[in-house]
Amino acid sequence: MVSMDHVYNKILTYLPYVLVLMDMRYEGVKCGQDVDNHMEMGKKLLAAGQLADALSHFHAAVDGDPKNYMAYYRRATVFLAMGKSKSALPDLSRVIELKPDFTSARLQRGNLLLKQGKLDEAESDYKKVLKSSPTEKEEKEASGQLTKSDELQRLLAQSRRSFQKKDYVTAAAELDAIIDTCVWDAASREMRAECWIELGEVGKAIGDLKAASKLRNDNTQAFYKLSTIYYNLGDHEMSLNEVRECLKLDPDHKQCYSHYKQVKKLNKQIQSAEELIQEQRFEEAVSKYEAVMKTEPNVHLFSLLAKARICHALSQSQEASRAISVCSEALESNPENVDLLKDRAEAYIQDEQYEEALNDYETASKHSEGDRQIKEGLEKAQRLLKQSRKRDYYKILGVKRTAQKKEIIKAYRKLAQQWHPDNFQDPVEKKKAEKKFIDIAQAKEVLTDPEMRTKFDHGEDPMDPESQQGHSFHGGSQHFQGFNPFGSGPFNFKFNFN
């Protein structure tokens, strides 16, 4: 006979296991209830359009029951509503794995595969839908999509033949029709990008390659091609950005690394040159841009950029002759470049070629209406041209418009001694010398007086009685008396002309 103590001991021995089993059963029931709650709440939020909150509940449902095919399906539905097809596809595949006869999931997966250009896989899904027991609506959709897929297969083969024959216009048109349906097909976009490149439509090629780089996670080739396109367009910064994206995916990519070194070197030179221009170290900037042309002699747009910036630097440093030469060379390739026209016009003004400056500003204004700098330059060139047809005090003294006061006085003294009337005995020559002497004296007075010089530089003649009054002497037949042009110098010569 079994004693009560023995029974009691047995109960104590097995009691922990019983309790564990009871806890597991309780947790399982609780977990099932939680999954049902998340599913129910997720459906309500989805119906209300609160996609992010709905997604959170379906995530919880999947974590709570990894074999709940409806949780995956609902989550895929939210992903699709959010435009996240890449995330939806694995969920739909998991649904089909758990429940192969779920025709709605298979049909949706087929549609996603079709958009990705995976035509064979899409066709397989459509055929399996038709072999199952689809609803009338599902059967109709699957049949239509299967027909469309067959047509796309034919078009794809045709576009490849056109591309191989180098009939890029036809190939691009055929690929257009494919991409209208297969919007996430990276391969078709890359082939169409090649067509656009061959046809010179680089903007369209960039659009396709940018899309292709996003459609495939490891698309190093798309980034490399984007970088080379931007490089050939003279956009060194965008080229550098794209080649860096390539190297992020594959640091050992030979083409990208080689190209990266070239673009980085060129980019550094251009940035350095621009900094020098900002610091007004123009001659150093010129040297740096000359180095740019040596670094990349084969891409015309970089040579044009370098020449344009050299033109600007020389214009700013008032090296008029050099600036005109370089600007003119650059304008041969790009005659409508507004910046080049403005820089050359400024150089022409420095070189006192006012008609040429006026022509450049007028041409620039046609291509950039409302540009304040052009408007001011045009007015300045007009004033100076008008002024040059009268008296030009800089020309009278033979000095540049940038001459300092010391240079002006030196030129004045030399000319005043040369044209002093006492140096001439012949009455005709003496009369001529007197007129010349007055012009020289007036030029010196205007150009050594900051206020009068500023007026003259802005197109006014301080010695013109129509625009200036109150001075002690005037040009031409006006009075010029009691003036000693040499000050305390060796000459003491006074005039009184009527």
> What is the DSSP code (8-state) at residue 475?
S
Domains 29-160 and 162-355 belong to one CATH topology: yes
What distance in Å separates the CA atoms of residue 85 and residue 80, rounded to the nearest whole number?
5
DSSP 247-313: HHH-TT-HHHHHHHHHHHHHHHHHHHHHHHHHTT-HHHHHHHHHHHHHH-SS-HHHHHHHHHHHHHH
What CATH superfamily is the domain 395-498?
DnaJ domain (1.10.287.110)
Residues of the chain with pLDDT under 50: 18-22, 24-29, 469-498
Residue 5 to residues 9, 80, 133: CA-CA distances in angstroms? 6, 66, 64
| pLDDT score for 476 | 38
122-145: b (≥16 Cβ within 10 Å) or e: bbebbebbeeeebeeebbebbeeb
The contacts found for 342-346 with CB under 8 angstroms, 24 or more apart, are 342/373, 342/374, 342/377, 343/308, 343/311, 343/312, 343/315, 344/311, 344/315, 345/377, 345/381, 346/315, 346/377
Amino acid at 63: D
In the beta sheet, which residues pair with residue 105? Answer: none
**CATH 3.30.43.10 fits domain 162-355:** no
Two tokens, residue 335: 């005659």
User: What pLDDT score does 11 carry?
Assistant: 53
Please list the residues that pair with 496 across neighbouring strands: 481
Q: How open is the CA angle 147-148-151, to the nearest 5 degrees?
A: 90
- Give me the helix-helix angle, 4-47 and 69-81, nearest 10°: 20
**Nearest-angstrom CA–CA distance, 350 and 402:** 8
Residue 438 gets which letter from DSSP? H
Task: Give the predicted TM-score (pTM) of the model.
Answer: 0.68
Please enumerate in sequence order all residues whose Cβ is within 8 A of that of 411, keeping only pairs 6 or more positions apart, or say none.
397, 398, 399, 403
Q: Which of 188, 262, 189 is nearest to 232 (CA)?
A: 262
pLDDT at 392: 83
DSSP 379-419: HHHHHHHHHHTS--HHHHHT--TT--HHHHHHHHHHHHHHT
Cα distances (Å, whole numbers) of residue 474 to 27, 195, 449, 498: 112, 74, 16, 11
Q: In angstroms, rounded to a whole number, what is the distance separating the alpha carbons of residues 466 and 445?
A: 18
Q: Which residue has the tokens 């700013």?
A: 316
Could you give the CA distance from residue 51 to residue 293 in angstroms, rounded to a whole number?
55
Q: What is the DSSP letter of 422?
A: G
Residues 6+ apart with CB under 8 A from 6: none
pLDDT of residue 6: 57
Q: Are 130 and 142 in contact (CB under 8 A)?
A: yes
pLDDT at residue 495 in the model: 37
What is 29-160's CATH topology? 1.25.40
What pLDDT, on the 0 to 100 scale, is given for residue 32?
A: 60
Give pLDDT, residue 85.
87
- Identify the pLDDT of residue 216: 87
Domain boundaries defined on the chain = 29-160, 162-355, 395-498
Distances (CA, A) of 323 to 89, 279, 320: 62, 19, 5
Burial of 388 (0-12, 13-18, 19+ CB in 10 A): middle
